A and B are shown apart, each in its own frame.
Chain A
Amino acid sequence: MNPVNVDVVVVGAGAAGMSGAVALARSGLQVVLLDEQGSPGGQIYRGITLAPLGRRDMLGPDYAHGNELAQALAASSVQYEKGAAVWQVTRDHQVSYLRDGRLHTLQARAVLLATGAMERPFPIPGWTLPGVMTAGAAQILLKSSGLAPSEPVVLAGCGPLLYLLGWQYLRAGVPIKALVDTTRPEDYWRARRHLFAALRAWPYLRKGLDLMRSLRSAGIAHYTGAEQLAIEGEEAARALLFTVGGKAQRVATRCVLLHQGVVPNIQFSQSLRASQHWDADQLCFSPKVDPWGALDVPGIYVAGDGAGIGGAQAAAVQGELAALGIARQLGTLSDAQRDYRAEPLRAMLESNLRIRPFLDALYQPKEANRIPADEVMVCRCEEVTAGELRQFVALGCTGPNQAKSFGRCGMGPCQGRMCGLTVTEVIAKARGVSASEVGYYRIRPPIKPITLGELAGE
């Protein structure tokens, strides 16, 4: 089958993808937007076009904001393909995807990757048990299906998403048994040097403070400085165990929602062999991009959280900036036109990102929850523990790719998404070198599962 020619393919219909695709179409380019979900919105605005008004109201104004982007998309000339699982993007701009069991391939002049973020792994004892999910997972159930835990739930970890979910549960009348916060006093101390910049992002900061205040005034049991988190249970979660100030605590629950921040989803930029760097503030790998989001692979751009965590508002602006960069590259804009239009966007982006250093410092995930004890499962798919990884290192394993041959670590169906960062940091610490030196898994297509039959059906 010959590939279909288009100007630009955008991968991912979240904040960055929707705004980028709309801006590209507006500049006169023919755009195809591919997304895995059944409706636009990505994870942050998940199900925004389908959510009943009551649910939209309960989720809050930041969620409802996504509707503007979705409406702009619907009104644009963008060809939006839902339920499209992109399994390969090549360095010469071929994009292959699977939709309703059929293979399609597009040949683009430029590609915009807007694959967003995913939750950082939270490797603690028992985190593989049924009943343990990410806070993001529970929020997706709330956004897309109006579902919440049927019994009092325990939220554990740190970061804005965890508190936002708590606030949304309060509004929905969902009982919260405890908020087990890993934030410690020294985190506020570390974050204080970014406070001035954060104060300049006052509306954002105030929103956060209001949210924390309503959680506190709701009388939810709130533990702070929680350490040694572990899930108790054999067939399913039964309780969350932890210590506060050395004192052991146990909160019984069938549902534990974990969160310690989000990290860029870098599967595509990795599979394209684009340069990446270790972000020492966000403790994750991000692809290296220029001010327009261009990778060091010609014609391939990244916008939004996939290029470093900045949040939904920043992502939408980055989508527009990438669109300007691409329009210039494809000749529909001059340098002067591009730069003129970019100026107000850059100011908006700067203002949207002002809060980040404060948040990154305050909610930096604890080392014990990133580089776990020996008995903790690191690779959930192939069931490789941190202790086994350390044994591999003792035998001469130098990085994540060697860990595959030592013990299949990272070779299961998730292709390292759930263990990649943990594996990098465990090996780095065991070897006494930087995460940057250890590097990340070499990711290869297919990025999404595809059967031989589907491949042969082409």
Chain B
Amino acid sequence: MRTEPLFQPVMSEVRSTRTVSLTFNEQPLNVPAGTSVAAALLMSGIGRFRATPVSESPRAPYCMMGVCFECLVEIDGVPNRQSCLIEVSDGMRIRSQEGARDLMFAPVDVETFEVQP
């Protein structure tokens, strides 16, 4: 869900001319090239990056330097990426992590048989 961005470029900043396109939860975003994924999401109005595995409470970046692990997102299918340490790139598919991961369950054919008492 997008809201008013929590962070924006300061007035004196020259707007980046180069941008890259990526998606966050399937929503297309255009962000300046060269920034971290976390910074790009924060300036695009993404205020909530994930829900915790324990209580599904909302979280967002806290330290921006790779020590708090609050900014974990799924990038191009790989979960638990530290978005503050990864630079944006064109075509990146980013997803928020919602709660605990489902156990990957592959159904197998099980032969049923009757147990003789």
Q: Identify the A interface with B (CB < 8 A).
A: 36-38, 43, 50, 52, 54-55, 58, 85, 118-119, 128-134, 136-138, 140-142, 144-151, 172-174, 235-236, 254-255, 265, 380-383, 412-414, 417-418, 449, 451
Min C-beta distance of A4 to chain B, whole Å: 24
Contact among A131, A137, A150 with B63 in the assembled complex (CB-CB below 8 Å): A137
Docked CA distance A13–B39 (Å)? 21
Interface status of B92 (Cβ within 8 A of chain A) = no
- B45-87 CB mask vs A (1 if < 8 Å, else 0) is 0011100101101111111111111101000001010101101
Other-chain contact of A130, B34, B47, B54 (Cβ < 8 Å): B47
Enumerate chain A residues within 8 angstroms of B55, measured Cβ to Cβ. 383
A-contacting 9-mer, from B9-17, B21-29, B104-112: B9-17
**Of A132, A150, A174, A418, which one neighbours B67 at CB under 8 angstroms?**
A418
Q: Is the CB of B70 within 8 A of A380?
A: yes
Q: Is the CB–CB distance between A149 and B7 below 8 Å?
A: yes
Q: Which residues of A contact B65 (CB under 8 A)?
A: 43, 118, 136-137, 140
Other-chain residue from A236, A414, A417 in contact with B48 (beta carbon distance below 8 A): A236
- Which residue in B13, B54, B63 is a CB contact (below 8 Å) of A382? B54
Q: Of residues 28 to 46 in B, which have CB atoms within 8 Å of A's CB atoms?
A: 32, 34-36, 39, 42-43
Q: A55, B13: Cβ atoms under 8 Å?
A: yes
Task: Specify the chain A residue showing the minimal Cβ separation from B48.
Answer: A130
Q: Bound state CA distance, A55 and B42, in angstroms?
A: 19
**Contact across chains for B63 and A413 when beta carbons are under 8 A apart:** no
Most buried by B among A37, A128, A136, A383: A128
| A418 to B, closest residue via Cβ | B68
Contact yes or no, B35 A132, CB < 8 A: no
Question: For B14, what are the chain A residues with a Cβ–Cβ distance below 8 Å?
Answer: 52, 54
Nearest Cβ on chain A to B57's Cβ, whole angstroms: 7
Q: Identify whether the interface residues of B are mostly helix, strand, loop, or mixed.
A: loop
Give 10 A-B pairs besides A146-B9, A449-B82 with Cβ atoms closer than 8 angstroms.
Answer: A137-B61, A137-B64, A138-B64, A141-B64, A142-B10, A145-B32, A147-B43, A380-B62, A383-B57, A417-B67
Contact of B80 among A131, A145, A146, A413 (CB under 8 A): A413
| Complex: chain A residue closest to B71, CB-CB | A137
- CB-based contact B52/A383 at 8 Å: yes
Q: How far is the CA of A151 from the CA of B117 in the complex (A)?
A: 73
Instruction: Look across to chain B and name the residue whose beta carbon is closest to the beta carbon of A258.
Output: B62
Whether the Cβ atoms of A129 and B58 lie closer than 8 Å is yes
Report whether B4 and A36 are in contact in the complex, using a CB–CB cutoff of 8 Å: no
Q: Contact: A150 with B8, CB < 8 Å?
A: yes
Task: Evaluate contact between B59 and A130: CB separation under 8 angstroms.
Answer: yes
Please indicate the chain B residues that have their CB under 8 angstroms from the CB of A149 in the complex: 6-8
* Beta-carbon nearest neighbor of B47 in chain A: A130
Closest 6 CB pairs of A and B: A130-B60, A137-B64, A146-B13, A413-B69, A150-B8, A172-B10
- Taking CB as reference atom, which chain B residue is nearest A234? B58
| CB <8 Å contact, B85 and A144 | no
Known: A38-B87, A172-B11. A145 touches B36 (CB 8 A): yes
Residue contacts A-B, CB under 8 angstroms, 6 given: A129-B58, A141-B64, A254-B6, A413-B69, A418-B69, A449-B80
By a CB distance below 8 angstroms, the chain B residues around A382 are 54
CB < 8 Å neighbour of A141 from B7, B48, B80, B87: B7
Residues from chain B with a CB closer than 8 A to the CB of A130 are 6, 47-49, 58-60
B35 touches A54 (CB 8 A): no
Whether B57 lies near A141 (C-beta < 8 A) is: no
Complex interface: chain B residues within 8 A of A413 (CB): 69, 72, 80
